[in-house]
Structure 1
Amino acid sequence: MSSIDRALYDRAIAVMPGGNTRSTLFVPPHPPYAVRGNGAEMTDESGHVVIDCNNNYTALIHGHADPEILEITAAVAAEGTAFGLPTRYEVEMAETLRERTDGIEQWRFCNSGTEAVMMLMRAARAHTGRDLIIRFKGSYHGTYDGAVSHSANGVPAAVASSVIEVPQGDIDAVEYALTAHRGQVAAVLIDLMPNRASLEPATGEFVSRLGELARTHNALLAVDEVITFRLEYGGLHTRYGITPDLVALGKAIGGGYPVGAVGGRADVLSSFNPLVGEVTWGGTFSANPVTMAAGMVALRRFTPNVIAELNASGDAVRQRLTDGGVAANGSGSLIRLVTDDPAVTWWKLYRAGVLAGTNGLLALSTPMTDDHLTSITNAVLSVCAPESA
């Protein structure tokens, strides 16, 4: 650890608990500090350059400081960064998302994936008049009290009791919960490839049965695509041939700026309609024009061909890793390294020139070249392959 990083950390712990704002970025004894990013690479305070496979936890699909995104955001910001009125940018973004998702009817915007899940849960409860949400143990849906694990500290018992946790992939447990709480479940919330649960994709059979059970019990099917939307043009749910009643997005749709979105059936989201609905939901910076404009550029360039190429690169890297004896889950441009000691692995990769997620997540970006991909693969093999252990 450089003296510069240490000095910054000493300052940080005086003004922030543990010297940290984002728990997901902490790696002991403390993480380095970023200075700048350019394309697929990032430089820290000590001058160490790494290939960024964290990409702000999958958000930066076009890497750092993308010139076209910077150009549009500078132009939009020069006209005003936020207003007490809506703008055409949010209309265009909603139209774009409806088209990409093959007809998810209506959309609302917020500032993070956490907020998107909060809004999704409120929409489900308002539409159905029911209180309970079913979620899967180990999945991460943001930091909202009502979406975290029952074991999380600081969650009131009354809030925890409004959510039923069932094991990943256990359709019998879902059916039991819906039957035992017949008429009380507003929605079943699923991440189809949950990062915190080792990035294992759900099976088609499971997802199909889940949709059937939700319909039978008049519960909504809600899909968290905050991370997985990048895997298909219209989101990972399209790979399964389903249309969720509600979907939460974030990260990649913001072009590197804070963003969240909820899409769903028009009747389900009608509670937010100020002309007829009963739910008031603000957000000072929600749908701000800078984020919406940046996101439009990012999505316009994230075409089916580009997505297919990036996914193929990820699949090739994953195959090389597994062939080399490295446990690697995921799909397409998202790879999850399964290691016994993620912190040790993180530091070894960082020193080898690769920035991963603190849980072993690797997210590819469009600026990555063949040389970058080779370097990433070789670094992971050197750190994680059995002979290197």
Structure 2
Amino acid sequence: MNQEIAGSNTAAGLSRARPRSNESFARAQKVFPDGTSRVTIERDPTPLYIERGMGSYLFDVDGRRFLDLNCNFTTLIHGHAFGPVVEALTHQLQRGSCFANPTESEIELAELLCGRIPWIDRVRFVNTGTEAVLFAIKAARVFTGRSKIAKLEGAYHGAYDWAEVSQAATPDNWGDAIEPKSTAIYRGMPASVLDEVVVLRFNDVESVRRLMSLHAHDLAAVILDPMPSRGGLVAPKSEFIAAVQEVARNNGILVIADEVLNLRQSFQGASARYGLVPDLVTMGKIIGGGLPVGAIGGREDVMKVFDASAGRPLLPQGGTFSANPLSMTAGLAAMRHLDHAAFANLEILGKIVRDEIDRAISNRGAPLSVTGAASLFRIHPLARTPNDYRDIYPTPAGATLMKQLTRFFAENGIILPHGAAASISTPMTRSDAEFIVDVFVGFLDSHQDMLDAIEVRT
């Protein structure tokens, strides 16, 4: 166990150990609506303010060191202050940060993506994963002349209204098991948006066939994350992938693979790993080397909707900072160093962590499970491996346990995301993997009473 972290395993203990973070949060509450600048900031009881990052570690303003399993929500696949990225950015900053004109760096990054990912013939760069999804859905609408989309219940695709439908569905509103309801994520979401989204359950083959076929004439696209993080980081069944593709192909529905997060699953991304052949792919996170970025890639005929060579395109897409040279050069440096060897090592470390956590769970008969693939993993307060979003929706006792797990990891020197994917980065070592497992075992051994209170669902 990391002895640098003092105090008891309580919110009060953590608060006492972070006086400068507490001071910073007091300042932030005077300028931000809730003291934070984004809803994803975790607080227990206050946010942890970071001073710097180096390799696989973070250092907070109070001088404490943490192994970082968040990696800015899986973005930093090379960890913090990665040398080639720092060098590339330093060189570019001396030459200019952004221009209205294109640069050769955007061509080079696009060439890398088109050369690496089999179903990408053309690329357009944007600033975020949200923008990538937004324009992919618009492109599908323009190409097909249809307006509806289908998406997976509980899956996260950014902040575009149609992509947000049923992102946070609950047992109180998610409706029937075989025909999920479209649920709003915020008060005032237009009813017309809900009417234009068909909600599917992940890994439910018969339901996806029936619902996609029923709405086929109105569906422009089905968007799916091959392994939804917010949906549990559960592996897709091959027959589910096959069913989605078959119904889509037979009815002229485009398949959009949202790989903003899961592109890190292999050299060619997650679709290649699971046998999905999409028409469009949305990307972000790792392709920006730690800077803001998003991209839409896909078939040449579909991507033609962005073509402005003959005048106004069918789908206009701009953006002051789209394809800015800082993001392009940083992304190019990061992606060039993500070779086959790097992915193989990430695969090994991820498997060690998942297998050892699973072994610890089994040895103690704990009502927990672990999911994930490649460099990703997620722990669930569920005795059996979940199948979809409804399975991983926690009971009150389960939610409390997971919050305590995140707290325990923080107290022992590891940043473990709460209710999201944890990620391995290339600077991590075998000893880092063993450290993760040791802390998890320590949690199991010291929280038996809480584990006993978990309802074993079958």
Question: Smaller-chain TM-score range?
Answer: over 0.9
Task: Show the counterpart of 1:139.
Answer: 155
Is 1:352 aligned to residue 412 of structure 2?
yes
Q: What's the CA shift string for 1:293-327, capped at 9, x where partnerless?
A: 11111111111121011111101110000000052
Question: How do 1:155-234 and structure 2 match up within 5 A?
Answer: 155-234=189-268
- Check conservation: 1:25, 1:358, Cα contact below 8 A: no
Match status 1:82 vs 2:124? no
Deviation at 1:291, TM superposition (A): 0.7
Deviations 1:142-194 (A, max 9, x none): 12212112230142222222211121222222222223223110001111111
**Structure 1 residues 387, 30: CA separation in 2 closer, same or farther (over 3 Å shift)?**
closer
Q: 5+ residue gaps in structure 1?
A: none
SS at 2:223 equivalent: strand
Secondary structure of 1:323's counterpart equals helix
Give the match for residue 275 of structure 1.
Answer: 309
Aligned to 2:40: 24
Match of 1:38 in 2: 54
Distance 2:114 2:421 in 1: 29
Distance 1:315 1:291, change over 3 A: same
The aligned counterpart of 1:48 is 64
SS in 2 for 1:102: coil
Matched, 1:153 2:186: yes
**Residue 256, structure 1, aligned to residue 272, structure 2:** no
C-alpha separation between the residues in 1 aligned to 2:439 and 2:316? 50
Partner of 1:122: 138
> How far apart are 1:28 and its partner, in Å?
3.9
Q: Does 1:337 align with 2:397?
A: no
* 8 A Cα contact 2:156 2:230, kept in partner: yes
Report if the CA contact (8 A) 1:335-1:361 is conserved.
Answer: yes
Q: Contact conserved, 2:69 with 2:415, CA < 8 A, in 1? A: yes
**1:238/1:228 CA distance change after superposition, 3 Å:** same
Which consecutive aligned stretches of 4+ in structure 1 deviate over 6 angstroms post-superposition? none
1:69 aligns with 2:69: no
For residues 386 and 9 of structure 1, do their structure 2 counterparts lie closer, same or farther at Cα, with a shift above 3 Å needed?
Answer: closer
Aligned length in residues: 389
Question: Relative to 1, partners in 2 of residues 1:36 and 1:385: Cα closer, same or farther, differing over 3 Å?
Answer: same
Q: CA deviation at 1:286?
A: 0.8
Is 1:100 aligned to residue 148 of structure 2? Answer: no
Q: Confirm whether residue 315 of structure 1 aligns to residue 351 of structure 2.
A: yes
1-side partners of 2:445 and 2:238: how far apart?
31
1: CA distance, partners of 2:335 / 2:58: 23
Structure 2 gaps of 5+ residues are 1-14, 167-182, 362-367, 382-397, 452-458
Contact in 2 for aligned 1:346/1:360 (Cα 8 Å): no
The answer to whether the Cα contact below 8 Å between 2:205 and 2:239 also exists between their aligned partners in 1 is no
Q: Output the amino acid matched with 1:163.
A: V
Q: Offset of 1:227 from its aligned partner?
A: 0.9
Give SS of 2:51's match. strand
Identity of aligned residues (%): 35
Q: CA deviation at 1:385?
A: 6.0
Other-structure match for 2:329: 293
SS in 2 for 1:42: strand
Q: Shift of the alpha carbon at 1:211?
A: 0.5
Q: Is the 8 A contact 1:328 1:335 kept in 2?
A: yes
Partners in 2 of 1:212 and 1:233 — Cα distance? Answer: 26
**Residues 384 and 211 of structure 1: is their aligned pair in 2 closer, same or farther, counting only changes over 3 Å?**
farther
- Tell me if structure 2 keeps the 8 A contact 1:25–1:357: no
Counterpart-to-counterpart distance in 1, 2:138 and 2:222: 13
Q: For the residues of structure 2 that align with 1:182 and 1:240, how far apart are their CA atoms?
A: 24
- Contact 2:216 / 2:253 at 8 angstroms: preserved in 1? no
The one-letter code sitting in structure 2 at the alignment partner of 1:336 is R
Q: For the structure 1 residues 39 and 22, does the alpha-carbon distance in structure 2 shift closer, same or farther, using more than 3 Å as the test?
A: same
- Conservation of the 8 A alpha-carbon contact between 1:178 and 1:217: no
Deviations 1:49-82 (A, max 9, x none): 1001110011001100011110111101211111
Secondary structure, counterpart of 1:35 in structure 2 = strand
